[in-house]
Structure 1
Amino acid sequence: MKTLLAAYSGVVKGTGSSVLSVLQDLPSPPWPCRSKMEKHLQCISVLQWVISFLALGLSATVLLIYMFCTDCWLIAAMYTAWLIFDWNTPKQGGRRSSWVRNWTVWTYFRDYFPVRLIKTHDLLPSRNYIFGYHPHGIFCFGAFCNFGTEATSFSKKFPGIKPSLATLAGNFRFPVLRDYLMSGGICPVNKNSIDYLLTCNGTGNAVVIVVGGAAESLECAPGKNSVTLSRRKGFVRLALEKGSDLVPVYSFGENDAYQQIIFEEGSWWRLVQRKMQKIVGFAPCLFHGCSFFSAETWGIVPYCKPITTVVGEPITVPKVEEPTPDVVDQYHAMYIQSLQCLFDKYKTHFGLKESDVLEIL
């Protein structure tokens, strides 16, 4: 204190250099580097999404049951009553929130990898669309960031188009998780939900379907470019029935987010994965990323690998109420060809070699 008073007296007398000397002697506060803080925030934003997807639904269900056994049973009863009343909302367009889609946390999520959205053609607001998203990866980070949030400015790049990312219908049976998903414009991937969006919600709707689904997630690995598509024709039939244009979408780098143990077909572990896939709708994958504190140790945080999502040219689809198998096969072949052309055109721009090919399973 005496030193500071002496320095102050030096300023009064016109010798301010003593103040500088005192300030230089003071220990500097241990503030973290701004870049490190941003990296931690990015990591936290991704980690919260991973944990929410894995555990939020189950945790909220357990908590709701527990509340019935406490003095908070009335709150639990009121929420359960509202849940029953609101049960069909996910099938009727959901309840998206522009506020949630524009949360700052999603910009940190985007910058962690980073995730980019590339537009190749304009989309007409007077039409409806079915986006076929490839590949699935482990958590569909590119699909969520680009179509479940506004972090990559989807609405500005495609004005008049409202995206709805379709995911496993079972997720909407869990309390809290269902509301969290719906706020981002995410809907169940079932016929009722998609029918409503493409027929009862006007035009300018884009339903994003991860065509390969759980089966494709079992094959994802860094550097592997394969999609499960050869027998997936339901989305093409749906596009014909609704007269919605098909748009191929490929995310370069989606498979690089995690390392996965891929079991051979016919092995005991692969049989377990297939069985679980049929029972619960998703395949239990054995994967790892890095830890929160170090990229050298294992954890559930994905690796910082760029994910670039390219939205291709729309395929004009006529409305055919009862399409024949031949018509479905025709447009399915057109879609595969369009997806392969999209992959071949942009692969060298985003880290792949000219010799890399897209494998259609």
Structure 2
Amino acid sequence: MKTIIAAYSGVLRGTGSSILSALQDLFWLSKSKVEKQLQIISVLQWVLTFLIMGVACTLILMYILCTDCWAIAALYLAWLVFDWNTPKKGGRRSQWVRNWAIWRYFRDYFPIRLVKTHNLLTTRNYIFGYHPHGIMGLGAFCNFSTEATGVSQKFPGIRPYLATLAGNFRMPILRDYLMSGGICPVNRDSIDYILSKNGSGNAIIIVVGGAAESLNCTPGKNSVTLKNRKGFVKLALRHGADLVPVYSFGENEVYKQVIFEEGSWGRWVQKKFQKHIGFAPCIFHGRGLFSSNTWGLLPYSKPITTVVGEPITIPKIDNPSQKEVDFYHSIYVDSLIKLFDKYKSKFGLPETEVLEVN
């Protein structure tokens, strides 16, 4: 009898352990699913912000002006006029916004990593050349407009400013959202102010290839538009700001797009948009909201690793000659290629892979 009771107790203990184990497994599975959904939501809100927030907020503001709540819209427009030049003067960053938990979910969706290779002196100013553009510059945003990858801890005393199209800062609400992350217009007035009237320890991140580069980005291709992009070098010389090459491995992998050949009607339309509006419309797709096997606006969850290279010391020359600009531009191109070659095999590329510089 004692033997039967002992055996029965053992079965109960085993069953209880099994049930507890199953509940724990279920709990962690649920937690994992919740985290994945939060990651998807965090990325989706950013994609929608990138694509439609500016236009949507403009239309909403116009609609409110036609309702009984017109005074709210009028007050905001008055504030907009008063605050119009703030983006050109370093903006209005918010550490609270940069530290939002949503950005950590955004980071983990891909995931995105920031790799530091050299220290940066707080007594100097810097211009980071970010490559490649990709469709949306996801790595540039996550690494330098949020604290998700620890940019402030990795480069203490350095204030990053991601430069983007000036037209974005003419859009109500969107402009304030962008400024809160430390994003500024990519124009001469804004860059001159940050590098000359904002002290030292500033780093302006310029996606050098711009819209032209985005037209050629596709998975499996590592190419940059750089040969005739020398304006950022001239700015660096005028302010004595050190140049820092930055390459994001995986930036081109997160979206697929239709590439139009040179001379085709599609490329003609894209170039007209690029010339007159500042951006080039791309026909692209990622994965669907509920399945990675369907098409949608969500990027594919592919790793993006952003490597910040060694700074190139630049002298201050008020009026640099074309020869001087060309000389430092060639040094920058060589440094970028060396950075790519040094780290390509560490981040999934074959040793034979060559960075195409156009």
TM range (shorter): over 0.9
1:338 corresponds to 2:335: yes
1:92 corresponds to: 89
Cα offset for 1:53? 1.1
Cα offset for 1:86? 0.3
Displaced runs of 4 or more, over 3 A: none
1:43 corresponds to: 40
How many equivalent pairs are there? 337
2:201 corresponds to: 204
1:244 corresponds to: 241
Residue 104 of structure 2 aligns with an amino acid whose one-letter code is: T
Residue 146 of structure 1 aligns with an amino acid whose one-letter code is: N
| Residues 272-281 or 190-199, more deviating | 272-281
Residue 259 of structure 1 aligns with an amino acid whose one-letter code is: K
1:161 corresponds to 2:158: yes
- TM-score, L = length of structure 2: 0.92
Cα offset for 1:33? 1.4
The match for 1:254 among 230, 251, 256 is 251
Secondary structure, counterpart of 2:273 in structure 1: helix
Q: Aligned residues: percent identity?
A: 68
Provide the rounded CA distance (Å) in 1 between the counterparts of 2:257 and 2:34: 29
2:218 corresponds to: 221
Cα offset for 1:301? 0.2
1:308 corresponds to: 305
Provide the rounded CA distance (Å) in 2 between the counterparts of 1:102 and 1:140: 19
Provide the rounded CA distance (Å) in 2 between the counterparts of 1:240 and 1:68: 47
Residue 184 of structure 2 aligns with an amino acid whose one-letter code is: C
Provide the rounded CA distance (Å) in 2 between the counterparts of 1:259 and 1:296: 13
Structure 2 gap segments, 5+ residues each: 1-11
Provide the rounded CA distance (Å) in 2 between the counterparts of 1:95 and 1:220: 32
1:326 corresponds to: 323
Deviations 1:163-222, CA, capped at 9 Å, x for gaps: 000000000000000000000000000000000000000000000000000000000000
Provide the rounded CA distance (Å) in 1 between the counterparts of 2:87 and 2:38: 31
Secondary structure, counterpart of 2:247 in structure 1: strand
Correspondence 1:11-160 to 2 at 5 A: 33-160=30-157
Deviations 1:243-283, CA, capped at 9 Å, x for gaps: 00000000000000100110100001110010011121100
Provide the rounded CA distance (Å) in 2 between the counterparts of 1:222 and 1:43: 21
Cα offset for 1:36? 1.2
Cα offset for 1:37? 1.0
Cα offset for 1:34? 1.1
Deviations 1:86-129, CA, capped at 9 Å, x for gaps: 00000000000000000000000000000000000000000000
Cα offset for 1:140? 0.3
Deviations 1:279-333, CA, capped at 9 Å, x for gaps: 2110000000001110000000000000000000000000000000100000000
Residue 246 of structure 2 aligns with an amino acid whose one-letter code is: V
